[in-house]
Each structure stands twice: as C-alpha cells, then as structure tokens.
Amino acid sequence: MVSLGISAFYHDSAVCLFENGKVIAAIEEEKLSGIKHDNSFPKQAIKWVLQYSNKTISDIDTICWYEEPNLKYDRVKNTVGKHWWKNRKIWKQFKKEFEETEGNLSVYLAKKLNFTGKVEYVKHHHSHLAFSYYTSPFDDCVGISVDGVGEWETALAVRCKNNTFEEISSLKFPNSLGLVYSTITAYLGFKPNNGEYKVMGLAPYGDPMKYKHVFDKISKFDVRGSIEIEQKYFTWKYSNTDMYTYKLVNLIGIEPREPESKIEQHHMDLAAALQKWYESCFYYFTNNCMQQSNTSNLVLGGGSAYNGTANGKIQKHAPVGNLWIPFAPSDAGSAIGACLYHWHNTLDNPKVKGGDNQSPYLGPEWTNQQFTNIILKEKVTNKAMFYDDTKMLCQNVAKLINDGAVVGWFQGRTEFGARALGNRSILANPHLPDVRDRINRVVKKRELFRPFAPSVVVEEYAKYFTSEGEVPYMNQVVKVTNYKSIPSVTHVDGSARIHTVTKKQNKLYHTLLKEFKKVSGTPILLNTSFNLRGHTMTNDPQKAIWTFLNSDMDYLVLGNYLISK
C-alpha cells in the first residue's frame, strides 16, 4: 500500500511518501520553496517525494490528510462566525478559501494532482500522537499533544495501546496554552508560529516573578485537571490578525515591543514569566493524565513539544519514567503521523516492536559526482579538495574546528523537521568562549542572545550533561555539569539543548565527533542549522555554496569535498 501524507494551509506544509508501513521520503515545502514556514499546498514537495521514490500519482492508493476539515470548519463557524460583524472580511475570506481547498478536498486534489483515489482524514491531534507513539520504543504509554489548536482540541491526552487511542483528557478551544505562548511571542516583537524558540532563548535572562501577576490573572486551574484561559485579554475567537486586547496591554503595563527594536530587561522578564507559566500548566496537565494511567511511559507531540526547556524537566515534575519525542512533533510531522494512524489504527497493522521510522534523514541527497559538477559550475574548483578516505576528511575537519574554524557540513539526506542533526549543520569549537557571538553576529546574522546546541557522542553524554537519557533529536534542554569547559554551547542559566549521536543514527557525524575528541579532549561540537537569518535550512548544494560565500564561515564540506576561502 502506497500513501501520501499531507499537511497544509496553516503552517509548515509537508509531505511524506509511505509504503507498507515505512516512510520512504518526506520533506517540508519550505525547504524547496525557500519560504519560511510555507503554508501553501505543497506541490513541490509532492513532486519531489514521487520522483525520489520512482512513483507517479497513479501509484498512490490513499492520501492521508492531517486533520478533519469539517470539524475545523465547525470550530471557526462557532467562534469567528458568531462574531462576523466584528470582522466580516476574515469570515468571508475563510469561507471562500475553505470551500476552494480542504472543504472540498477530493475535488481540489483532482484538480491540483489529478488524484481521484481515496482520501483518509485523521484528526489533528491523532496525527501528532500517531507520529509520536508509532516511532517510540513503547508498546503502552500516555500520549500528550499540545499546540495552538487542532479542530476543537488545543491539547489532547490519550492512552496508546494495541493500536488504539483512548482519551484521558483534553483542553478545548479557546483554552489554549499554545495560543497564549504565541500571543506573548507576538507581544515581544517576534513572529508567532515562528519566534517561540526565541522567547525560550530569552527567558533565562529574566526574572519570572516580575510578571507572575499577569499569568495568574489570565488562567486558572480546576480540580479536574483542566485549565481555563480568561478570554477578555485575547481576540482568538473573532480575529486571526490581532491576538490580544488593550486589557492585556494594561495588565502587562508595558507597550508591545516593535520588531527589531532594542530588547530591554522587562522583555526578558516577561519571556521568563511566560516560560515559567507554560511549564506549570504543562506539568499540571501531564500530572493529572499520568495519574489516571498505570504506565510511566510518555510520548509528546504537537508544536509545543519543541519547548525543550519544559521537556527537559518533565521527569522531575511528573511521574514520567521514560520519555519519547519524535524528530518533527509540529504540523510538518503530522504528514507522517496521518499515514501512521491510517496504517495502524485504521488498517490494524501491528506496531513494530521497539519503534520504527525513527530516522529523520528523509530528504534529498547528492552524489560526489554531482558535487563535482556543481563545484565546477559555481567556479570554486581552485578552493576545493577531494578526500577519498572519509576518516581522513573527518580528521582534517576536526583539526580545523579545533583551531577555531567555523565549518558548513553538508552530508547525506536532508533532515526532516526544524533541527539540524548532523547533515545540514554549521559546526564550531564549543570550547572557545567567543565563537558563539561570532556565529550569531557574522555567520547566522541573528540576535546575540540566541544559544547554540551541543552534539555529543551517545557513549559519553552523561559525563557532560544531566540528561535522564538519550536525546537523539535535540528536543530537551538539560543542565551542563561543567559549563566552563564548553562555554559556547552553555546558555546563561547553565543549560544546553543537547543532541546525542549514535553510530547507527549517523555514522559519519559520529566519526567526526570522535575525531574531534582526539584533538580537543571532548566529543562535543557546537551544532546549528545550516542557514542565514531569515532563510530556510539549506537543502541543496548550490544554496550551501551561496550561504558559505555570503557569511563568515571558514570552510564548507560537501560530501567528500572540503572547500576553503
């Protein structure tokens, strides 16, 4: 059975090609279009996954859609639609776009793709949770998905067992932890559904008590484990442009920050209070759900599962013994999740023992011969050196990094998801105290407060970090045990968002880390995504060369080629 999984029209549109229980290829539209968080119908992504897998649209048995359009329409109708007089244009525009796209999806797919086969709809949070559960090592667990909003649910907890999802608890729109986080993200001058990770990076610089009163006012817990959001501060029920009211401005007591303006201490304090509040809500909801089950295994999904700070502390604040978070828990991953739900929950195919589909390396790749042709075309031949032996390549790159070089590292298949996991990375020496500011200022060209992640070989992560276990997808923030030794990957609060690397997961990157230990003493590298500010993660060699030449990187590795300036 061959399926296409698709998520689209909100943010992070993506596609996967799924055959007999296995993800063959997957990519987000943004990595092909160059538009960050591209939400358009992913035609380029569909074209690529079909070409890669040597299929045509006639080979596709089923398209799995990542949410239930009719339930989504019902929610918008009963919220925005009830307030149509406040924003008639928004309601009219939504109805028109909905009827032309997902409201008549079979017609739309026939028109766009010439697809006339079966369309399988999967509820939004079920798509999230299927991706988390069926890639996990657990047969029995609690699954929790938290994001802005699905159809009606903004958070959903289920018991995952024997190809069934039994609901434990949920939060319903407009009570949304994710929308509160996105609203304050916008208030702080960052783009919602994009800049939340900046707020997480800013939070450790602030005092959460300074604005605790704000979050005490906007939410309350009840004895049943539910969380209610005071709606007089927010406009989600009738607007998709402004997210907050003047009552929130008055409650906070400072004006919203203009984008790109100076970040003041009160902005840091507000970010800290938001993060503290989110954690308290998340742990409250999780505790309630875990206490209703007899398992200590937990899987997380939804966009909020990218909140590495909250993830890294959950085992200390809830009865969680074992934790699993997949490599792309947000809407992009739901393209995969929808296929997994259909394969297992609908068609009743058994879950693979120990988990399956765990590799994030699902995108395009290039051969050394293709790299040769591109290097000739881009006229950087005189700067390029080819290594027949990849171990020798790793040895030389490790020495260059140890000497202070910043290296673009382009290998294998592009990662699926928001994290660079050793195939599309910028690498540097974490021991050098000035390298973080250098990369932020003249390589990534972004805000100086932003932290970087350390990649570490799995065999030795416990020597340097207080993690409860392996973190293969860079989705948990943990304490650094000897932060003075690796200052450029240690945040201001002594934490780091770690990435543990196994030989099985990424052999070449694991070798590079091992070689770096031989020259530096530690198997740790500073690892950040291969892109400049405002650009999507580098997907193809031509963009890699352009990024290299338009930044202060010292070297670029394309396959077996080492290119210098």
User: Are 156 and 255 in the same domain?
Assistant: yes
User: Are 395 and 540 in the same domain?
Assistant: yes
Mean pLDDT for 311-316 is 96
Q: Considering the entire predicted model, what is its pTM?
A: 0.95
User: Are 375 and 464 in the same domain?
Assistant: yes
Q: Give domain status of residue 480, yes or no.
A: yes
The pLDDT-based confidence of 80 (bands split at 50, 70, 90) is confident
Q: In what order do the strands lie in the sheet with 453-457?
A: 384-386, 561-564, 555-558, 407-410, 424-428, 524-529, 453-457, 499-501
Q: Is the pLDDT of residue 85 over 70?
A: no
Q: Is the pLDDT of residue 81 over 90?
A: no
Q: Is the pLDDT of residue 84 over 80?
A: no
Mean of the per-residue pLDDT values for the chain?
A: 95
The CATH number of residue 256's host domain is: 3.30.420.40
Mean pLDDT for 232-243 is 84
Q: Is the pLDDT of residue 469 over 80?
A: yes
User: Are 339 and 472 in the same domain?
Assistant: no
The CATH number of residue 389's host domain is: 3.90.870.20
Q: Is the pLDDT of residue 83 over 70?
A: no
Residue 484: Cβ within 10 Å count: 10
Angle among Cα 235, 239, 244 to the nearest 5 degrees reads 30
Give the domain extent around 417: 368-564
Q: Is the pLDDT of residue 301 over 90?
A: yes
Q: For residue 86, what pLDDT is reported?
A: 67
Please state, in angstroms and rounded to a whole number, the distance separating the CA atoms of residues 510 and 506: 6
Q: Is the pLDDT of residue 235 over 70?
A: yes
Q: Give domain status of residue 357, yes or no.
A: no
* pLDDT tens, position by position, 327-385: 999 999 999 999 999 999 999 999 998 889 999 999 999 999 999 999 999 988 889 99
Sign of CA dihedral 207, 213, 216, 217: negative
The pLDDT-based confidence of 194 (bands split at 50, 70, 90) is confident
Q: Which SS3 state, helix, strand or coil, does residue 436 take?
A: helix
The pLDDT-based confidence of 27 (bands split at 50, 70, 90) is very high
Q: Is the pLDDT of residue 61 over 90?
A: yes
